[in-house]
Structure 1
Amino acid sequence: MTKFLTSAAVALALTAGAAAAQTTLYFGEAGPNRGARADAINFFTGQVEELSGGDLSFDTQWGGALFKAGAARSALADGVADAGTIIAVYFPQEMAAYGIADLPINNPDPWVGMKATDDLMRSNAQIQQDLANQNLVYIGTFTTSAVHIGCVGATINSVDDIAGLKVRGVGAYGQAFADQGANLVSMSIYDAYQGLDSGLIDCSQGYSYVVPALQWQEVIDSYTLLDWGQVGALGVFMNKDIFDSLTQEQQDVLMEAGRRIPDELGRILATENEAAVQMMRDKGIEVVELPEAERAKLVEAGSTYVESWKDTVSGMGMDGEAMLTEYRGLIDEYTQERDAQGYPWER
């Protein structure tokens, strides 16, 4: 679909007897219309339509129909789609500030991580300006949940078992795998099934709910629960020109719908991750829980990439140390809320 068709998607269709026009926006998503993130996207777009009373709606294009994951940032900035999902690891420089949510800082709880990230992205003026300079507006955040690893022909029972394996890994987690002796292979998560099936890779960094969404259970024979941290820098962004062209009421609806994503996706993940792990066990896939001492080695291995991140964002004119302090404070705040009140869907 051309840029003309999608950006012109603020195509106004007058409804019969209505004084106002309905605004339809195009949403681009590289993944399939199944799994936890797809459910969260459908929730978000449904909330937009509900909160706006039908005034604002999305036409969601799945499976990379508008753009692939590696082209999302420029596609949204250029107006190939009006809104869509950006995964920060594919844009380590341009989306470095958002990449704070990908750091291996012992932050495995999906809801806590999403709430902290969402607060930071909305409130930090440095991040807001950096996005505006790229013609982007932040709307809401997702998470992959805790980072784990699925393998075929190998089982990771300890950090030492990683050495020599061909691993699809991304971001700081992938680099930490490489530091433990893995042969890192650059590959989209959507291509991991084929990579595992063909022997191009032995293992893939992954997340429990993704296994049934991408059918990995058909090709892996072991799955190790690392409970290390999460890849949380993926979420909904909009083309700033399009966002600015909307009414204040429509902008408010988009932002409110985005704020609601963490509670809904947190609820979904709590159910789907548990179900995915049980499904793997039922199919005879060996599920390994990495011992705490081995997990600590991974947390330590990832610490060098926290420092690298601070250097990167500081080189862009932002205060990486202050940003990290703010983020860790938000993680502590939402951890305390969870411990005191439980998760929102349990209250």
Structure 2
Amino acid sequence: MKIVKNVLAGAFLSAGLATAAAAETTIYYGHSGPDRGTVPAALKWFGGRIEELSAGDLMLDVQWGGALFKATGSVQAIGDGVADAGSVIAAYFQKEMAAYSLADLPLGGPDPWVGLRATDKLMRTAPGIKEHLEQQSLVYIGTFTASDVNVACKGVEINSIHDIAGKKVRGAGVYGKVFAELGATMVNLNVYEAYQALDTGLIDCTQGYSYIVPALKWFEVIDNYTLLNWGQIGGYGMFMNKYTYDSLSDDQRAVLTQTGEELADKFAQIVIGANSKAVTAMKENKLDSEVKLIEVAAEESTALTAATEPFLDTWKENATSVGLNAHELIEIYTSAVAEFSKELEEQGYPWTRE
């Protein structure tokens, strides 16, 4: 069996026929970003892992750079069968990804592994989520995280929440909204536009993630980087077209489930490694330009989390509006955060254990 949607262009069909000899089932996967970075590394691992577990019966064919759909069109494209599966960013789909967007709030804390495991448990076990996704012809496969949100600045510093007021900032999701409530002037840019905006003075600071500092060469246009110890963007993951998923054999679905569950640990290892390497490079002045590393005090992180409360209420209203039990979802998620935080404290990360 091989999966190819009728709506795919003839070139894709030809490519699919060429790979039929290598695998019985080729899953066409759409990713809006380029073929570099933490998520692409995880997607390549995922493809290799399903091929390994299925003894060559499953293969992932990733179409990069928005070739199948843009990030803002992912839910409809996957649901319509433009792709068999693809990457979805919850922030673009508040109604469609109402449950998943809970992971974009700082309830999970800043640790990527804790957030990934808690989010994966939420999406697999919480009542109502599976049914809500099926209404959109979607099936959840596994989760990524953009990782913990910090802030990079040029010419100014963020040492406390009081320093946020009056700054021109590019924000990320609810974290940007909190900065706006604390007096920042928010500038609507994507992460790839931040470099030029910092360089030209259009913005003073940009929220972002540690691995981006070397990856996008922010070190050339910033002079300091503040670790907020606040929260992460966790509503970012893999979804599959329900009809495609249902057409797979029981064994094939089991492979996708196992690999999707393993993805939380694997992606945490990838992104934590990348973040740690970047922070160490800043701390030890190993980048081409010096970047001062700042870490806010614990009470500042607590104050930032408290400032998020109104947005949690907005999330509850949104989840309730699509028929989900918001309070139950929060309870499941926060319990999972506590469970995996305890496991981390007692045993360390899975890849460091004997």
Q: Does residue 315 of structure 2 align to residue 309 of structure 1?
A: yes
Show the counterpart of 2:39.
37
**TM-score, length basis structure 1:** 0.92
Give, in whole Å, the separation in 2 of the partners of 1:190 and 1:68.
15
For residue 10 of structure 1, report the CA deviation from its aligned partner.
Answer: 11
Aligned position for 1:215? 217
Secondary structure at the residue paired with 1:4? coil
- Structure 2 residue ranges without an equivalent (≥5): none
Q: Choose 91-100 or 73-82, whichever is displaced more.
A: 73-82
Q: What does residue 171 of structure 1 align with?
A: 173
Segment of structure 1 superposing worse, 267-276 or 209-218 = 209-218
Letter of the structure 1 residue corresponding to residue 149 of structure 2: V
Of residues 292, 295, 306, the one that matches 2:298 is 292
Q: Partner of 1:257 in structure 2?
A: 259
- Please state whether the residue corresponding to 2:87 is helix, strand or coil: strand
In the alignment, the residues of structure 2 paired with residue 148 and residue 190 of structure 1 have an alpha-carbon distance, to the nearest angstrom, of 16
Aligned match for 1:5, one of 9, 20, 23: 9
For 2:20 and 2:61, how far apart are their aligned partners in 1? 17
Match of 1:89 among 91, 94, 100: 91
Distance apart, 1:125 and its partner CA = 3.0
Q: Which moved more, 1:84-93 or 1:209-218?
A: 209-218
Structure 1 gaps, min length 5: none
- Where do residues 1-347 of structure 1 align in structure 2 (5 Å cutoff)? 3-5=7-9, 11=16, 14-15=20-21, 22-105=24-107, 107-281=109-283, 282=285, 283-347=289-353
- In the aligned structure 2, how far is the partner of 1:140 from the partner of 1:77? 16
Q: What secondary structure does 1:312 align onto?
A: helix
Amino acid at match of 2:311: Y
Among all aligned residue pairs of Structure 1 and Structure 2, give the percentage whose two residues are the same amino acid: 48
1:211 shift after superposition: 2.4
Please give the alpha-carbon distance, in whole angstroms, between the structure 1 residues aligned to 2:90 and 2:13: 26
What residue identity is the alignment partner of 2:199? D
1:9: how far off? 9.0
| TM-score calculated relative to the size of structure 2 | 0.90
Question: Runs of 4 or more off by more than 4 Å in structure 1?
Answer: 6-14
Distance of 1:310 and 1:201 partners within structure 2: 32
Report if aligned partners of 1:25, 1:58 keep a CA contact under 8 Å in 2: yes
Q: Which shows bigger deviation, 189-198 or 160-169?
A: 189-198
Shift in CA distance, 280/75, structure 1 to aligned 2, threshold 3 Å: farther
TM-superposition CA deviations, 1:123-165 (whole Å, max 9, x none): 1231111111111110000112211011223221111211122
Number of matched pairs:
343
Give the Cα–Cα distance (whole angstroms) in 1 for the partners of residues 96 and 20 of structure 2. 38
Q: Residue 108 of structure 2 contacts residue 334 of structure 2 at CA under 8 Å; is this kept in 1?
A: no
Deviations 1:294-323 (A, max 9, x none): 222111101221122111111221110111
Distance 1:284 1:224 in 2: 14
Structure 2: distance between partners of 1:254 and 1:219: 42
Q: Which moved more, 1:62-71 or 1:103-112?
A: 62-71
**Per-residue deviation, 1:79:** 2.1
SS of 1:155's partner is: coil
Alpha-carbon contact 2:108-2:114 (below 8 Å) kept: no
Q: Deviations over 1:138-193 (max 9, x none)?
A: 00001122110112232211112111222221322111010111112233223333
SS of residue in 2 equivalent to 1:105? helix
State the distance in 1 between where 2:188 and 2:129 align.
Answer: 28
Residues 211-269 of structure 1: per-residue CA shift (max 9 Å, x gap): 22333223222211001011111011111122122222211111111111111122222
- Specify the code of the residue in structure 1 equivalent to 2:76: S
Secondary structure at the counterpart of residue 233 of structure 2? coil
Question: What's the offset of the Cα at 1:276?
Answer: 0.7
Please provide the CA RMSD for this pair. 2.2
